Structure 1
Amino acid sequence: MESAIPAHLETPRARHKRVPDDYQPPYPSFVARYKPSVSRVVMAYFGVQHGGAAPAAMEALKELAGLFAMDGGPSHWDRASYRDQSGSENVVTVAYWDDLARFDTWFAQAREMWTGRQREGIGTFVEVLRPIVARHETLFSSPDRPEGVAVVAEGMSGEVQEHAYWGGMRDRIPLSQTDAMAPGGAPELICDGPRLRVVAHDNLCLIRSGQDWSDTEASERKLYLDDVEPVLREGMDFLRDDGLAIGCYANRYMQVLAADGSASEKSYGQSWWKSLAALERWAESHPTHVKIFGAAMKYLSTLGPSAKLRLYHEVTVAAADEQFFEYLNCHPKTGMLAAVETVST
């Protein structure tokens, strides 16, 4: 059994794992493996926000696809949609790179075309993390279908040890061997004409946690959609509407879109947290996540190894200089705008 932390990032631990060295997880899970030469990855969320049928939104999405096709564009991207707490429709395209220099050159031009230009009836935003790989972890229930940032990785690991216990998420992050990754500072708003930029703080946490039920057959699909998904949605709505009090700045529960724009049988929650510790507290003890965990365990114990549902997540704890948030004509509860308490100009 492998460690989730790749050998070239292992270091003598100043902070110990939550499980003993002979721990045996009850079921298999896998992590993405990058080439050792990859020191950073980039995950960039490009959003379009509108109040209803907006031709400008479709034009903006076509324009974004054109930007992605330029030299230096992402190695992988996917698209999802959701309706937020203000009733606005949002389409979010998340793009991934494993070459920071390539991204920086591309983004210098793409940013101005995305959040630097007014479009009638819509808002646009971009949220970027560019972490060193030691600040990042992934987890997959199956090794043969990568999602998100794992698509730009070299491949998948064998079965890893650090999962299926509270604290496994932290134990999979290489930096956790020596660093508590505690947050520092408070988010601030910078007004650049009509553009609003949020400067967050050190050790901001991002999670993307996905579900794929496209392989399930009729009875399993019904069980997931009737018994698990409504409980998951309830928890996602809590984080969206009331998460700020427990350290969740913003949450989106999105349905992934197929290439033709139709809804797929995939979804993911994506949220910004004040800290990894705040995310851990919600996962371990908050009633909404306890309910999600209970529904998932009942589902998996009912189906056993025959379950076809695929689960994954990616978690990043980003340094202050690894973050960029910019919004144009978006409502004040959009993404990290919801976290801002002080305004500077």
Structure 2
Amino acid sequence: MESAIPEHLAKERTRHRRIPDDYAPPYPSFSARYRPGVTRVAMAYFGLQVRPGDEAAAEPALAAMAAAFGKGEGPGHWDRARTVDAAGFVTILSIAYWDDPDAFRRWYAAHGAFWTGTGPGDDRLGTFVEILMPGVERYETLFSSADRAEGVAVVSDGMSGMVQEHAYWGGMRDRIPLSQTDAMEPQGAPRIVEADGVLKVVPHGNICLIRSGQDWSDTDGDERRMYLEEVEPVLRAGMDFLRDEGLSCGCFANRYMDVVGASGGATDKTFGMSWWTSLAALERWAESHPTHVAIFGAAMKYLMTVGPDARLRLYHEVTVAAADEQIFEYRNCHPATGMLRAGGG
């Protein structure tokens, strides 16, 4: 058993974990490990928004972004996902990760800034970027198995052994290295400014992003049926609540995404990604809101029924970013897109 916080990021605690030193979690989980030379990463969400029926118009823009990822110092990993937002617009995300934000900045200046700088040149399309460049002390990852990385973990050096800080309320915070000495409370409030046709959200400090995913591609038979019929609908209901009413509990925006395969087809993977005013707001929803209590109950019933042979794979990454580690820009998007809701959209 090892700590989710790697040794080179361990500090003398001034804020205590929620567990005693001899705590033993009831099942194994794992965290991504980065070589000590990696001090910061880049997580870049390139969004495209289009009305249903106009999706063919998105193909040239999506192809241009895929081509851009292959140029210069492109990402170490990227993937693509799709959803329909509360306003009925199709949203397609191309999500890219770097383990060197300086390389990201150079690539972005040369190959990525067009996304909201000039846009694809089609008035039917809205484009946006939501970018974080957190220090490694400001995020955590958790996986139910160690042999298949997702998201930012793909650009890591590998997985840990079994970690201690999980399977209890508060584990998410305890896995973030900065939590050893900092409460990570929100600082300031976001505001929106306009420049050259682009709406920019000037962020507040310690905004929280979670990407939490499910992969049922290895399941079959009763396990697959149970997930799709008893767990996924409850999960979707919770994601819809955050999408439609999340502002009531500190969630600026939520997207429940279907992962798109390399050929453009559907996969057996989904994830929710949401922006929160703070880690504490996310914790309160997770611990006590009826929608997440229902998700947790359905998941526990599933895992208790299937047992240790469960093939469902779960993961998440949670980031608490400083104000100067964030970029939010929106061109030709409706006013309730993403972090524009932070300004009352």
Settle same-fold status: TM greater than 0.5. yes
Asked if residue 121 in structure 1 is aligned to residue 128 in structure 2, the reply is: no
* Residue 341 (structure 1) shift: 4.5
1:42 is matched with 42
* Residue 190 (structure 1) shift: 1.1
Post-superposition Cα deviations, 1:167-221, rounded to whole Å, max 9, x if no partner, equal 0000000000000000011111010121111011000000000000000012111
Partner Cα distance (2:103, 2:262) in 1: 25
Asked if residue 277 in structure 1 is aligned to residue 280 in structure 2, the reply is: yes
Q: Is the 8 A contact 1:208 1:315 kept in 2?
A: yes
SS in 1 for 2:194: strand
User: Please, what TM-score do these two structures have when normalized by structure 1?
Assistant: 0.98
Partner Cα distance (2:332, 2:174) in 1: 39
| Aligned 1:135-284 pairs, distance under 5 A | 135-284=138-287
* Residue 110 (structure 1) shift: 3.1
Partner Cα distance (1:50, 1:268) in 2: 20
Aligned-residue Cα RMSD (Å) equals 1.0
* Residue 119 (structure 1) shift: 2.2
1:81 is matched with 82
Q: Is the 8 A contact 1:204 1:273 kept in 2?
A: yes
Post-superposition Cα deviations, 1:119-143, rounded to whole Å, max 9, x if no partner, equal 2311011100000000010000000
SS in 2 for 1:29: coil
Q: Is the 8 A contact 1:56 1:120 kept in 2?
A: no
1:320 is matched with 323
Cα 1:90–1:84 shift into 2, 3 Å: same
Paired amino acid for 2:91: N
Q: Is the 8 A contact 2:210 2:275 kept in 1?
A: yes
* Residue 116 (structure 1) shift: 1.4
SS in 1 for 2:328: strand
2:309 is matched with 306
Aligned sequence identity (%)? 65
Q: Is the 8 A contact 2:123 2:332 kept in 1?
A: no
SS in 2 for 1:316: strand
Partner Cα distance (1:91, 1:75) in 2: 20
SS in 2 for 1:127: strand
Post-superposition Cα deviations, 1:36-83, rounded to whole Å, max 9, x if no partner, equal 000001100001100023333100000001110111110000000000
* Residue 306 (structure 1) shift: 1.3
Paired amino acid for 1:257: V
Partner Cα distance (1:40, 1:16) in 2: 25
Partner Cα distance (2:63, 2:221) in 1: 35
Partner Cα distance (1:75, 1:244) in 2: 34
Moved beyond 4 Å, runs of 4+: none
1:94 is matched with 95
SS in 1 for 2:225: helix
SS in 2 for 1:264: strand
Q: Is the 8 A contact 1:54 1:122 kept in 2?
A: no
SS in 1 for 2:185: coil
Q: Is the 8 A contact 1:143 1:156 kept in 2?
A: yes
Post-superposition Cα deviations, 1:143-172, rounded to whole Å, max 9, x if no partner, equal 000000000000000000000000000000
1:2 is matched with 2
Q: Is the 8 A contact 2:68 2:112 kept in 1?
A: no
User: Gaps spanning 5+ residues in structure 2: where?
Assistant: none
Partner Cα distance (1:230, 1:341) in 2: 29
| Aligned 1:97-112 pairs, distance under 5 A | 97-112=98-113
1:54 is matched with 55
